[in-house]
Amino acid sequence: MRVLFWGTPEFATPALRALSGEGFDVVAVVTQPDKPVGRSRSTLEAPPVKRVAEEEGIPVLQPERPRGPEFVEQLRALAPDISVVVAYGHILSTEVIELPRLGTVNIHASLLPRLRGAAPIQAAIRDGHTETGVTIMRMVKKLDAGPSILQVRTPIPDDETYGELQLRLAEMGALAMIEALALLEINRATETVQDDADATYAAKIERGMTRIEWIADAADVSRTVRAYDPRPGATTQHGDVDVKLFGARLAPRTAQSPPGEVLEIGPHGMLVACGTGAVQIAAVQPAGKRRLTPEEWARGRGIAIGERLS
């Protein structure tokens, strides 16, 4: 089976490695252009998927936008049997979706139709879901609404962060994709139409969504921190300084204290009061500084017991 692979971030690399390792003929990888990095913006950094493709000797296409007659003809010349999309980052036209003989399939990191959209992993943790998974679906023009070909489920542990869950789902998605392609190749795949009435949405992460509300229950605060750990980081404020928080765990709270008050600082982190209960924070990153343990932050006179976060 001739596969045209579309993807950009680290999340997509396990699927590309799996396709190559299982002997599929990956005719090309389509990814986003290299991005300038550094203070001078003079150094170009390749997308993670491009680096894997070059290791595997797979041709790479990096259009600014995946459209236009010339680009479509370039794809047609590759004669793919199917396109596989994993977090590419651009909307594909109907012409591009339908170009391969078997169409286009996508790995989505949720149990569709729940959590369609850009940030399903973060939303699953933040909203307190106890289970998530990956869906291999047929891509259509409507967002994440195509028929489901295969789903794999997994529980979400109480202490799992976005970064940890993302790694697990990336590996699960790669294995599920291989199984789905094998079923499609022998015409044994069962495609289940999604029920739009059951659909929920996980919007793109905006800055305001990462702000901690200390008046909330400790379980809600912990989930918010874990949902944005390690990127972009849940945020709070100490004085006039924005601070990112990482490594939240629920902790006992024996006395009533104002929400946001720092109750303890020690080798296990920083204990902070919430509206109900408290959370232990393992690491912080004040604006403009590197990531620190709370003890390091306190030694630098950045925080002290009894002060409040807001």
Same structural domain for residues 253 and 182? Answer: no
Same structural domain for residues 97 and 216? Answer: no
Mean pLDDT of the chain: 96
pLDDT, residue 236, reads 98
Q: One-letter amino acid identity for 223?
A: R
Kindly state the tokens that stand for 85. Answer: 């999309």
The tens digit of pLDDT for each residue in 152-176 reads 999 999 999 999 999 999 999 999 9
Same structural domain for residues 191 and 232? Answer: no
Kindly state the tokens that stand for 246. Answer: 């990482």
Same structural domain for residues 285 and 138? Answer: no
46/38 Cα distance (integer angstroms): 13
The tens digit of pLDDT for each residue in 120-156 reads 999 999 999 999 999 999 999 999 999 999 999 999 9
Query: Residues of 199-223 as b/e, b for ≥16 C-beta within 10 angstroms?
Result: beebeebeeebbebebebebebbbb
Among residues 202, 232, 262, which one ends one of the domains?
202
Same structural domain for residues 217 and 114? Answer: no
Cβ neighbors of 155 (< 8 A, separation 6 or more) are 130, 131
Same structural domain for residues 198 and 211? Answer: no
pLDDT, residue 254, reads 65
Domain of 229? 207-299
User: 13-21 and 162-185 are packed helices; what angle lies between their axes, rounded to 10 degrees?
Assistant: 40
Residue 18 lies in a domain: yes
Three-state helix/strand/coil letters over the chain: CEEEEEECCHHHHHHHHHHHHCCCEEEEEECCCCEEECCCCCEEECCHHHHHHHHHCCCEECCCCCCCHHHHHHHHHHCCCEEEEECCCCCCCHHHHCCCCCCEEEEECCCCCCCEECCHHHHHHHCCCCEEEEEEEECCCCCCCCCEEEEEEEECCCCCCHHHHHHHHHHHHHHHHHHHHHHHHCCCCCCECCCHHHCCEECCCCHHHHECCCCCEHHHHHHHHHHCCCCCCEEEEECCEEEEEEEEEEECCCCCCCCCEEEEEECCEEEEECCECEEEEEEEEECCCCCECHHHHHHCCCCCCCCECC
Same structural domain for residues 173 and 29? Answer: yes
Are 7 and 44 contacting, i.e. CB atoms less than 8 angstroms apart?
A: no
Among residues 153, 170, 202, which one ends one of the domains?
202
Same structural domain for residues 186 and 232? Answer: no
Residue 309 lies in a domain: no
% of the chain at pLDDT higher than 90: 95
pTM of the complete model beyond 0.85:
yes
29/130 Cα distance (integer angstroms): 35
Q: What is the CATH number of the domain that holds 269?
A: 3.10.25.10
Residue 307 lies in a domain: no
Mean pLDDT on 268-284: 96
Cα 269 to chain centroid distance, Å, stands at: 26
Residue 286 lies in a domain: yes
Report residue 307's pLDDT band, with 50, 70 and 90 as the boundaries: very high
The tens digit of pLDDT for each residue in 8-28 reads 999 999 999 999 999 999 999
Same structural domain for residues 222 and 88? Answer: no
Same structural domain for residues 136 and 187? Answer: yes
Task: Specify which residues 49 forms β-bridges with.
Answer: none
pLDDT tops 90 at residue 41: no
pLDDT tops 90 at residue 191: yes
Same structural domain for residues 158 and 254? Answer: no
Q: What is the CATH number of the domain that holds 79?
A: 3.40.50.170
Residue 305 lies in a domain: no
Residue 75 lies in a domain: yes
Same structural domain for residues 94 and 224? Answer: no
**Regarding beta strands 269-273 and 262-266, do their DSSP bridges make them parallel or antiparallel, or are they unpaired?**
antiparallel
Among residues 202, 236, 267, which one ends one of the domains?
202
φ, ψ of residue 125 in degrees (nearest 5): -70, -50
* Overall domain count for the chain: 2
Report residue 40's pLDDT band, with 50, 70 and 90 as the boundaries: confident
